[in-house]
Structure 1
């Protein structure tokens, strides 16, 4: 899977990484390599939580209505 991320230098030093397609998925690191490693982990955790939320949804029954 490929996900676009934005890597920005932080004013305090290090880097901030943002994932535009996953709202709120942000990470940081002292180096580019560390920031990218951290965002990979953040993406995995984000996707796991979304998957858990989907599995917790009640079963949906499909019904056709004649109008």
Structure 2
């Protein structure tokens, strides 16, 4: 599966979440750390759903950048 991930810069670190996997979040000191952490969080989250016999939500979110005139 390929899930959309939102990464936001916070005060002193970065946070990430997966819109299609509620509760799947991660933080990291920099972009590289948060990207690795969210990959691990997604795997852990999906494994937990499967172990509990729950369905794994499909990846439905779409990410796009929109340019606007400033």
So what's the TM-score if we normalise by structure 2?
Answer: 0.73
Which runs of 5 or more residues in structure 1 are unaligned? 56-67
Which runs of 5 or more residues in structure 2 are unaligned? 55-70
Tell me the C-alpha RMSD between the 2 structures.
1.2
Structure of greater relative contact order (alpha carbons < 8 Å, 6+ residues apart) = 2
Is the radius of gyration larger for structure 1 or structure 2?
A: 1
Structure 1 outlier segments of 4+, above 3 Å: none
Question: What is the number of residues matched between the two proteins?
Answer: 54
Q: Which residue of 2 aligns with 1:28?
A: 27
More helix by share: 1
